[in-house]
Each structure stands twice: as structure tokens, then as C-alpha cells.
Amino acid sequence: MISAHLSEPTSEADQSGPARVVAGRDGGNVSSSSVVPPPGKRKAANPFRFVWNLLAAPPVPFLITKRSDARVQSLIESLGPESVILNVGAGGKVLGRNVFNLDIFPTGSTHALASVFTLPFADGVADLIILQGVLEHVPNPRRAVAEIVRVLKPGATFYTEMPFLEPYHEAPIDVSRCTRYGLTLLCAPLTEVDSGIHIGPASTLTWILREFLASLVSGGHPVVYRRASSIFGWVLFPLRYLDHWLERYDHFHRIASSFYYVGRKDV
């Protein structure tokens, strides 16, 4: 079991399953009366408000195709049920029942709270470590990779993704970008097994064009920017679907939105 490899107990979450703690902002329990208005006092639904809220949240400007998801699942399925598989910075994503989820923020699927810089595992215990959408958001990605290498078994696999041409996006900070070759260098001393386009060039165009137009129209005014970003988001998002075709061609690496990397720790 994965919990047997933990270097110390995790008090924030149950090691045998996801943390499912519900609390109010002040740390107290949330009562039903504080969430659901009493009968007779509920406000009638406003259809205009519903439409407004819908239009204010356009689809994301990038496309993660089924090929990308299948790439990660194939790595997971290639290992046996007793393998130690860690998804670091998992958020709310569930990749499988045998995948142990870690994050700095609790979600309904988080098994343990931990930083990528201080994973609560002994040296050389993991068969596969997955790191998606994390390296660009940490202040020292090389140190993060070094911690991953420490926890990997000899011969084990590391999968990660890193943006190349993506606009600034905080989660909670945004620090780094890499070319395809830059990502390979970042992940040394691992040996590269595979790498390529994770999110394609049409997503690059869609996202940057949306940001450019919203910033141009808003003149730096935050409210105007948010509204313009929503409008242009709805207009432009269909462009991203070109990546179903374009991401297959390696020469588009020059303007890809992000790359993936698969590496192996030497025996």
C-alpha cells in the first residue's frame, strides 16, 4: 500500500482515501440553515442572471485532446495494482483508484497535503510520478524535479507537462516557460523516453488572441477586461479544435502551447 511508504503520517488527510472535510470560512461546521434558505424565503430564479453568468464563463481557450489523456492512462495501466503511483499537484483530477493524489490545497480527491518540494515519502519508492500543470507555477522548478527524482525508484518513470507559449495565468503564481528541448534539460538527470506537443498551436493562437483583444479593448480597466475577455472567449474558442489535427505534426513545436515529457530514472 502507498501509505506504507509515507515517511511520516499526514494529519491533514486520511491516507486510505480522499479527504472529505467540509467547513465554513471560520473553520466551523456549515449548517444546512446557512446554505439553504428557509421555505418561503427563497428568491425566484432569474433567467437573465443565469444567461449572464453563463456568458461570463466561456470555454477555456485551449484543447487537451484524448491523445494526451490516453498517454497518461497508458503509463498508469502499464503498471501492476501494487505499484506506487503519485499524482503531485493533482487538484481535483482522479486518474485511477490506485493513484495517490497530493496537493497543497485539499479537494474531494486529495489523499495527502504536500508540497512538490517536500514529498512525504522515503527515497526510491515510486514506480510512476505524474506532474501536470505544476512546474510553471513553482518558484524553483529544478528543485521540484530533484525531489521527484529522489522519490522515484531506479528504472521508474516520470511524466510532466510544461507550457511554452501560454499567457500569464496565476495558480497561485506563474513563473516559468520551456521549449521542448528546455523541458528535457530541466528534467535531467532523467533519461528522456518520449516528448512532444501536449497542447497544440491553435490553442496558442486562440489564447493569445483572446488576451490581446481583451487587453487592447479594456485599456487596462479590470471590469472592461473581464467582460471583453468573456466576449472574445466565446467568439474565438472554436479555433482551438484545429489542434485535433495540428498537434499531430511535430514541426508545430515552434508555436505549440505546451509540451509533455516522459523520462526514466537510471538503474
Q: Global pTM?
A: 0.81
Mean pLDDT score of the chain, rounded to an integer? Answer: 85
Residues 6+ apart with CB under 8 A from 102: 86, 87, 88, 89, 90, 110, 111, 112, 113, 114, 119
Residue 164 confidence (pLDDT):
97
For the chain, which domains are there?
2-10+61-200+250-264 (3.40.50.150)
Cα distance between residue 204 and residue 214, in whole Å: 16
Residue 47 confidence (pLDDT):
73
Residue 49 confidence (pLDDT):
72
Query: Which of 88, 120, 114 is CA-nearest to residue 101?
Result: 88
Task: Give per-10-residue mean pLDDT for the chain (267 aa).
Answer: 58 39 32 42 66 78 93 95 94 91 92 95 97 94 97 98 95 93 96 97 98 96 94 96 95 97 96
> 126-131 and 112-113: which strand pairing?
unpaired
Q: Specify the DSSP element, H or E, that contains 112.
A: strand 112-113
Query: Which of 101, 104, 76 is CA-nearest to residue 87?
Result: 101
Residue 113 confidence (pLDDT):
94
CA distances from 255 to 137, 171, 180, 241, 259 (A): 21, 23, 11, 16, 11
